[in-house]
Amino acid sequence: MKITKILTTAALALGMATAVIAGSHSEKTKVGFVYVGPVGDGGWTFEHNNGRLAVEAEFGDKVETVFVESVPEGADAERVMTQMALNGADLIFTTSFGYMDPTINVAAKFPNVRFEHATGYKTADNVSVYSARFYEGRAVQGTIAGRMTESNIIGYIGSFPIPEVIRGINSAYIHAKKVNPDVTFKIVWAYTWFDPAKEADAAKVLIEQGADVILQHTDSTAPLAAAAAAGNVIGFGQASDMAEFADGPRVSSIIDNWAPYYIERTRAVMDGTWTSVNTWDGIAQGMVGIGEITDRVPADVKAEATALKDSIASGDYHPFTGPLKKQDGSDWLAAGETADDGTLAGMNFYVEGIEGDIPG
């Protein structure tokens, strides 16, 4: 009897203590981040983490951020999000495509917690989606790649065959082809976002098969390291600047800049003005940045790429402008027509000229 009583008292005390802790926490806005890779990947997750640090810098002690890195896409992600929500997070950013269903599932259980899912397309009252128009950067990359290749073979390391990646391949191909009609793409699917060993193997194989430009849609710097080892091969920073390879193979990069968006959304939660939105920003809004084009690129190519970037930024040019056909030869866009966001968001076909099938 006595023991039971002691235990009950202890449990009560513990409960009260927890309530006090939770109470003191609620003054701060708590923002959680779920990462697919380690923050030290030097690419995708690294930039999301920079966004998190920018939120901390902006709001100081009015905000508390937490993050969990290297969270597998799937059931584990749901567990991590649930734990964050239970620990009092007000806003949770889930930063990979594969977190889409887990985010929707967990959001349904916590209607008072706001979720922001990157690169997905499912929304709810408390779930926003946001992404960047990486394909705008791919257009600039494709132009440089098409001009720079001497073997006319461009290697492309794809992660998963999802619309975001296919869009990038199409955009890079269209613009490489435009400046160099002889160009061909060799595509290897790594089936991972972050696995330096696999990415390095894929890059080496593409180089062995004659590619002298490597484009990657995976997150590590391993393909650039492989390009550096091969010598006469160039590549691009992916998701982050990857400037540590700038004196070697890296000639430019696509930089994801999430900081302004993360700050804006955190402020919306603080002000109570947060609503579910669907954001898809590009070069114009600064969400997609083009890293410095190095001197390895001739001045005229650099000028051409910069002009393309500026015309995309000003809205004069859309990277998917007709006439364009699909891979099977059927018509897609008439001359002068531009692709609508719906088609782009669900893109599941190659444009005419790319060889091979999209794994399905």
Binding site for another protein (CB under 8 A): 38-42, 46, 70, 155, 186-189, 191, 194-197, 200-202, 204-206, 208-210, 220-222, 225, 229, 244, 355-357, 359
CB closer to another protein out of 38 and 88: 38
Residue of 68, 44, 66 lying closest to 55 (CA atoms): 66
Half-sphere exposure of 138 (CA within 13 A, CB side): 23
**Closest distance to another protein from the beta carbon of 313 (Å):** 30
**Closest distance to another protein from the beta carbon of 360 (Å):** 8
**Closest distance to another protein from the beta carbon of 35 (Å):** 12
The strands making up 127-132's β-sheet, listed across from edge to edge, are 63-68, 29-34, 91-94, 114-118, 127-132, 278-281
CB closer to another protein out of 60 and 360: 360
CB closer to another protein out of 28 and 186: 186
Q: What are phi and psi of 353, to 5 degrees?
A: 110, -25
N-to-C CA span, the chain: 64
Partners of 237 in the beta sheet? 253
What is the Cα gyration radius of the chain?
23
CB closer to another protein out of 48 and 265: 48
**Closest distance to another protein from the beta carbon of 359 (Å):** 5
**Closest distance to another protein from the beta carbon of 152 (Å):** 12
CB closer to another protein out of 341 and 357: 357
**Chain centroid to CA 28: how far?**
28
**Closest distance to another protein from the beta carbon of 125 (Å):** 37
Residue of 132, 143, 130, 131 lying closest to 309 (CA atoms): 143
Residue 175 near residue 354 (C-beta atoms within 8 A): no
CB closer to another protein out of 188 and 269: 188
CB closer to another protein out of 175 and 204: 204
Which token pair is 275?
């609503």
CB closer to another protein out of 139 and 215: 215
Whole-angstrom Cα distance, residue 163 to residue 72?
Answer: 20
**Closest distance to another protein from the beta carbon of 242 (Å):** 10
**Closest distance to another protein from the beta carbon of 344 (Å):** 24
Please give the angle made by the CA atoms of 6, 7 and 8, to the nearest 5 degrees: 95
| Burial letters 114-142, b for 16+ CB under 10 A, else e | bbbbbbbeebeebbbbbbbbbbbbbbbbb
Query: Who contacts 307 (Cβ-Cβ below 8 Å, separation ≥6)?
Result: none
